[in-house]
Structure 1
Amino acid sequence: MRNLKPNAPLVAAALGGTPSRPPVWFMRQAGRSLPEYKRVREGIGMLDSCFMPELLAEITLQPVRRHDVDAAILFSDIVVPLKAAGVGVDIVAGRGPVMDHPVRTVADVEALPILDADVPQVRQGIEIINAELTQAQALIGFVGAPFTLASYLVEGGPSRNHERTKALMHSAPETWHALMRRLTPTIINFLQLQVEAGIDAMQLFDSWAGYLNEADYREFVLPYSTQILDSVAGVIPRIHFGVGTGELLGAMSEAGSEAMGVDYRVSMAAAAQRVQAKVLQGNLDPALLFAGDSAVRAAVRRIRGEVDAAGVGHIWNLGHGVLPTTDADAITRAVAIIHEEG
């Protein structure tokens, strides 16, 4: 590993060491639920804000200042590297990423640009973030997994069933693999520039992989996620997370990350039996932040017991992202409870 922050609890835990306190960060902690986020983003589009260094740094740092979490997660979006490469995409409020032109044929794949240049706005944002973070606070880089990006491209936007994506996989597998080979360098290049700029760890997000069965995941996704994680092997700690991926945890862990994220549908005890990774991340139900401190404390004690019994390392997180209507003070209290009990 490169010269990382030895006093950062998240880095210590991710590398299998003993952290100075239970490390905790929350997916989607940067934005959504924070009133200060809504103020600074007013009148500014989501994708635009990801390319404004001072703004993306401010949003990334807001939850660290407010909640005392042990890591910042780079404010970004899964489609940022596509936008940076020149793909026509926008994030439509209330819907999500929408493509100008879906990618469904060999010609579409061949026309898809590859990110092969710097993204100076992101690099500058990381430099601003690191100027404020302490040696005990890690910065986690953000990259979307190739299946999730491919699904947005094939469907043309968000999908409930991913039917066009699955149809392409099975009716034209050569086109599917060509698309994945086209996307993987873009993701790797976006990750590498974050590493060069100074991130301390990374998480590979696969938002939609949970819609696949294990056989399809292994054939159509795993080789490419492995290639992405391999690109920073031995450089920074790697976390791999997917939504609704309980049945895929074993296969996903074969991609090689030091830590595996676990969503709230799977117990930590079950996850520990399924994965190769020696560190787990998760898996407090985000809805419990609406249930009061006693419910959060009980869940934290239960999860801690499962992790201790399994004998694995642990990074605290939610089993998915912070819900938009979550009270910011409830998040702060949950972090304090985890630091006390976890």
Structure 2
Amino acid sequence: MTVAQSRVRSRPTRSDRPSRPVWEEPPTRLGRAAKGVLVGVVLLAVLFPLWVVVLTSVSPSPAITRAGGLVVVPDGFTTAAYAELLSGGVVTRSVLVSTGITVVGTLFSTIITLLAAYGLSRPGSFAHRPLLFVVLLTFLFGPGLIPTYLLVQSLGLLDTYAALVLPGAVAAFNLVVLRSFFMNIPQDLVDSARIDGANDLGVLTRIVLPLSKGVTAVIALFYAVGYWNAFFNAFLYLNSTEKWPLQLVLRAYVLQGQPIPGASPADSTLDGSGGLVATLAVKMAVVVIAVVPVLLVYPFVQKHFTKGVIVGAIKG
């Protein structure tokens, strides 16, 4: 064996190199076991309530009666609660209202936040420092409930869907996050676009937004979840029950214990097997309808939480 061959063989291969920093101690068996137990406990704490809610919503009335309330072990299956809720009644209407408010509000808030964040991120923009100071001031001082209500009333927005969107159209936190991201975009890209004749709108749409897909998706998700789960503004500003979003209906069913109009206190309607649908199953079905859309959307946006912070970085 030559000296060169011995040197090549003595070099550590990629598989021999440590996969962790040299200052970090290798994990012990007890540490790995403890981490596994902790993750399992957290996962159980998250999934068990969801399991109980979903299972109760699809359980017939006798199974709920035998369980004494919430069902933990499957004992029969029926979708009568969902059929009753989505048969064109108040829940169906509230789902359509919440969907419309979420879509329109998310688009409006995201567009306004993008425009404001881009303007505040440009050093030469008009009055960007005073406007930024006003935005940051909202972190310390809120307008208050009564002044906000009086403002909405004076603008004639009471009992309108605009009252659910306009008062909270721009979140200061989301605006600051987008502004910080826009400021990290290389100025050379912006200057090259301006040399090619692009105006501010062209720079925003052709340069800034393509580099900001990740963070924009995250901000849009924040707005969408906020509009979907919001009920307090609707509770304050909406007087007509037919305009209620899903969260207000959920509050009426679950917190106040109000059954479906026309139903008895214990039961509401017949299920597929001829039995009665328990009010508890209807309540849990409303909870599922309110929670599932967010659970379905989140996995498609989750990857952007980590990608959004590195997209647009200078590659050397």
TM-score per shorter chain, which class? under 0.3
TM-score, structure 1 normalization = 0.19
| Higher relative strand content | 1
